[in-house]
Chains A and B, each alone.
Chain A
Amino acid sequence: MKSKKWNIVLALLLMGTFTVQAQITGKPNFGKIAIIDATIHTVTEGTIQNGVITLDGEKIEYVGTDRSKVGDDYTVIEATGKHVFPGFMDSGTSLGLVEVNAVPVTVDNREVGNVNPNMLAFTAFNPHSASIPVTRVSGVTHVITAPQGGLVSGQAALMDLWGYSPDSMAIDATAGMVLNWPSAQSRGWGPRNPEQAEKRYKEAVRNLDKWLDNARFYDQMMNEFEADPSGKTKPEKNQQLQAMRTLVQGETPLIIAVSSEKDILNAIEWSSHEDNSSLNIVFAGVEEGWRVAEKIAEAGIPCLVSTLYTPVRSYDHIHRPYENPAALMKAGVKVAIMTGEVENVRNLPFNAGYAAAYGMGTEEAIKAVTINPAEIFGVSDRLGSLEIGKQANLFISSGDPFEPLSQIEQVFIKGYQIPMDSRHTQLFEEFLDRDATQE
């Protein structure tokens, strides 16, 4: 029993964790790497048995069955009986923005103010957060990290989970604008009667519309000035409106956090206005999406959803949170699974696992953490599947990665063979047999 564990410890040690105290992980391997004899789940191009996948630097160089592609200069990883998957993407986290949620000075995901389109998660992202190694060794290789609070929280970033600066880790520094949909739902706190709730909702939407109108006007004005500044007065720069330019152009997605049936319907109705037709809208949360799945599908709005929460209404079916992703998918909505977590983003595979077990099926649930979010955030040319030329974000698993009984054995991010250690493994290593002395 104990010897088995010592094997893990030894393996960790061999992977280069004879480290200086301050160092969180060892050094990665990088360059020409080949994984052979594995079952390769490409996601977009089927599953390859006894497959070969080679990496050259940051990119996937080859995927197939031809062993002759593996030259002598490759580091070869034998993966007989193992599985290779594209790295998982969590579409909703505050990873790197919050270190210890109960300690306010370490919480950088919530700026003061109601409309903060110019606040960038990218800026506050701490590449040295202890939660990052803990997350990536679970096979989650890149995440949307988002600000929260207010009406417009700011802009989320899509980050790789390996690197030493936000700059080197950012896949997209402005991946999405976060809008907390103003609720028309009356509830225990806040507006108690429906009329009051409706009134408050309408005021908030008017405010939102005004901001968007201003942003469109500002964008047009700036476009005209930039196209030909001659003879024109330079418009005053406005940070907030400037930050909204790519949003109103439809380039930056608008992530609308919305939950109840009523609010979802309102958000769909709002998004169908002609003025908003240029917006690239994504829903997040969407706990009651299953009630109006057809309408969301009709509107063509993709959804970012999780599964590990309690049913939102007392009379909801016990499995509703688990079944929501499948209900949306079956109606034709593009679904990505997220955790909504900070320190436990590592549970993304389990959120997806519940979706898989409750109607989505394993294959579709894998898509919901790989290619689907990549498409939703416009990076499917670079991420989300195992294809030649794509960025090498992938992992080797001993079995179904949704099963807690499987082990995630090796993670690659941007071609880097990541040391499989984190605070959690290091504490394990030190304390499993605490009082042992050197042999």
Chain B
Amino acid sequence: MKNTLTTLLILAVFSIATIAQEKGSVLIQNATLMTITDGIIENGDVLIVDGVITAIGVDLSAPSGVSVVDGTGKYVMPGIIDAHSHLNTVSTNESRNPVTAEVTMEESINPNSVSIYRALAGGVTSIHLMHGSANVIGGQGETLKLRYGVTQDEMRFDDAKRTIKFALGENPTRVHGQGNGIQPRTRMGVEQIIRSHFDEALDYKIKREAYLAAKEAYEGDRRGRTAPPVPVAKNLRYDVLNDIIDGEILVHCHSYRADEILMLMRVFNDYGIKNYTFQHANEAFKVAPEIAKNGAYTSVFADWWAYKFEVYYSTAYNATILNENGVTNSINSDSNELIRHLNHEAAKTVRYGETSEADALKMITINPAKQLGIDEMVGSLEIGKQGDVAIWSGHPLSIYSKVEHTYVDGKKYFDLYMDPVDMRIAVDSEDSYTEAGFNTFIQGREEDSCMSDVFELIQQ
């Protein structure tokens, strides 16, 4: 039974994969358009042709062959972008060294996870798939488009900026110091790990470049007067660190406490690193003026707090305080549950501190797009941007609103009304049943999901 199903599934996946990366065209008419960057347009139309928004206005007509969707009474907004996700990782942490800049989520994408479909059903079209927070300098991230049913490579967001995960505070000190008896055990150690690795990387760069120059000279020396240079081996880890210093990779740093946020800004100023985002950043509100001054970004939970000590002195008003202080902030999920209703998480910023509805919506669209370096391509309804949009039954910040259709590149990947009631009603007792909520009704939360796979490993 199970084998047949697996075979069927594999066949289904392959048959879909052959039509991968398809771009679609659609005209959505007479809807309320939440453009994000240009206000709200009532009774507006959006035309997407071959995956790109080509017109926004009223009374647009569909080019021949382009399907028309009646949006009367509906809301259209750009697809939600989640700047912090482990939605479909194969593995999350390479936790055996405090610095693992060389590993990448590019190699860790599960394109078949049902979580992708569930996120699409929440109007999400792009995610930032991140390495976990076990290491001070973790692996590189991968920005994905939720083209459900394609291959790993085809899920990647073309031309997105490269990113990397950093992590401060309890997680790296617990894993390495407490768990393995090596630095960092403290926040002091965390800082020194970063500084020493940047220094080593810079020294390596000088040596490596000198070697390469000497090698070139040696190889070009036909008369044999030059001695062969001592090789300086290529070091992928240092190469990546130099790319960070050179501004080619955006840092997304897992952080909670205000002091460690200040620490990283000091370090980054010393190395000339800009355009970085503090992830989680529960205490960012305490240093909002400093974050704004440094031009750093934040990406926070709407209301998670108190599950671990470093988030005990935090507040659900974090996003509002940051926004009011001029920090570009996004609301992220870091959870396969929260990603199903990021619209609702954004709405909480209105509840907690009366952030404007317009700014609340920015926090799940254009702001995360800026943080991922994809804001030229997605994050708002603008002519020339990619056709990643969702149609909502009502105002996206209302708890009663549902996503009816989700489009990526103009192609529909979710349709509420085409979705079967259930793929299989009878329960197969051998089918896996998630541990979450298993015969226990108090869930509690001990961890951000950045650490989901670490402690199993350490205990082995």
The yes or no answer to A260 lying at the interface (CB within 8 A) is yes
| Contact call A310/B442, Cβ cutoff below 8 A | no
List residues 304-354 of chain A with CB under 8 A from any CB of chain B: 304, 308-320, 338, 340-344, 346-347, 350, 353-354
| Contact call A101/B446, Cβ cutoff below 8 A | yes
Stretch at the interface among A17-25, A33-41, A60-68, A185-193: A185-193
> Across the interface, which residues of B come within 8 angstroms of A183, CB to CB?
438-439
Interface of B is mostly: loop
The yes or no answer to B309 lying at the interface (CB within 8 A) is yes
| Contact call A257/B439, Cβ cutoff below 8 A | yes
> Across the interface, which residues of B come within 8 angstroms of A188, CB to CB?
432, 435
Least Cβ distance of A265 to chain B in Å? 10
Contact partner of B440 (CB less than 8 A), chosen from A102, A257, A304, A343, is A257
**Given A404-B350, A427-B317, A315-B423 contact (CB < 8 Å):** yes
> Across the interface, which residues of A come within 8 angstroms of B317, CB to CB?
424-425, 427-428, 432
B337 to A, closest residue via Cβ:
A310
List residues 320-358 of chain B with CB under 8 A from any CB of chain A: 320-321, 324, 336-337, 340-341, 344, 347-348, 350-354, 356-357
| Contact call A102/B308, Cβ cutoff below 8 A | yes
A91 to B, closest residue via Cβ:
B441
| Contact call B399/A403, Cβ cutoff below 8 A | yes
The yes or no answer to A407 lying at the interface (CB within 8 A) is yes
The yes or no answer to B437 lying at the interface (CB within 8 A) is yes
Contact partner of B285 (CB less than 8 A), chosen from A291, A338, A431, is A431
A342 to B, closest residue via Cβ:
B444
| Contact call A285/B118, Cβ cutoff below 8 A | no
| Contact call B439/A317, Cβ cutoff below 8 A | no
A260 to B, closest residue via Cβ:
B433
| Contact call B307/A101, Cβ cutoff below 8 A | yes
The yes or no answer to A379 lying at the interface (CB within 8 A) is no
Bound CA–CA A428/B288 (angstroms): 12
List residues 75-92 of chain B with CB under 8 A from any CB of chain A: none
| Contact call A340/B399, Cβ cutoff below 8 A | no
List residues 83-109 of chain A with CB under 8 A from any CB of chain B: 92-94, 98-103, 109
| Contact call A93/B307, Cβ cutoff below 8 A | no
Bound CA–CA A103/B437 (angstroms): 21
The yes or no answer to B460 lying at the interface (CB within 8 A) is no
> Across the interface, which residues of B come within 8 angstroms of A255, CB to CB?
441
**Number of B interface residues, CB 8 Å?**
73
**Given A187-B435, A427-B314, A318-B288 contact (CB < 8 Å):** no
Bound CA–CA A431/B443 (angstroms): 31
CB 8 Å contact bits of B409-446 with A (1 = contact, 0 = none): 00000000001111111010111111111111111111
The yes or no answer to B304 lying at the interface (CB within 8 A) is yes
Q: How large is the interface on A (under 10, 10 to 19, 20 to 34, 35 or more residues)?
A: 35 or more
**Given A100-B312, A424-B315, A425-B317, A343-B422 contact (CB < 8 Å):** no
The yes or no answer to B67 lying at the interface (CB within 8 A) is no
Contact partner of A317 (CB less than 8 A), chosen from B309, B320, B422, B447, is B422
The yes or no answer to B313 lying at the interface (CB within 8 A) is yes
> Across the interface, which residues of B come within 8 angstroms of A340, CB to CB?
437, 441-444
Least Cβ distance of B457 to chain A in Å? 16
Bound CA–CA A185/B434 (angstroms): 11
The yes or no answer to B397 lying at the interface (CB within 8 A) is yes
Least Cβ distance of B61 to chain A in Å? 34
| Contact call B440/A180, Cβ cutoff below 8 A | yes
The yes or no answer to B114 lying at the interface (CB within 8 A) is yes
| Contact call A8/B353, Cβ cutoff below 8 A | yes
Bound CA–CA A428/B423 (angstroms): 46
Bound CA–CA A131/B348 (angstroms): 18
> Across the interface, which residues of A come within 8 angstroms of B324, CB to CB?
1-2, 5, 432-433
A109 to B, closest residue via Cβ:
B442
> Across the interface, which residues of B come within 8 angstroms of A131, CB to CB?
306
> Across the interface, which residues of A come within 8 angstroms of B357, CB to CB?
405
Contact partner of A434 (CB less than 8 A), chosen from B286, B312, B347, is B286
| Contact call B432/A187, Cβ cutoff below 8 A | yes
**Given A309-B337, A315-B423, A185-B442 contact (CB < 8 Å):** no
**Complex A-B, nearest 6 residue pairs according to Cβ-Cβ distance, in ascending order:** A428-B317, A102-B308, A343-B306, A404-B347, A284-B441, A353-B399
14 contacts between A and B (CB under 8 A): A98-B444, A99-B306, A100-B307, A102-B447, A131-B306, A187-B433, A310-B434, A313-B431, A317-B422, A403-B398, A425-B317, A427-B313, A427-B315, A428-B352
Having A187-B438, A257-B441, A428-B352, one finds 8 other A-B pairs with CB under 8 Å, namely: A92-B441, A310-B340, A341-B444, A354-B399, A403-B400, A404-B350, A405-B357, A427-B317
Give B contacts to A, CB under 8 Å.
114-115, 117-118, 121, 170, 285-286, 288-289, 303-309, 312-317, 320-321, 324, 336-337, 340-341, 344, 347-348, 350-354, 356-357, 397-402, 419-425, 427, 429-447
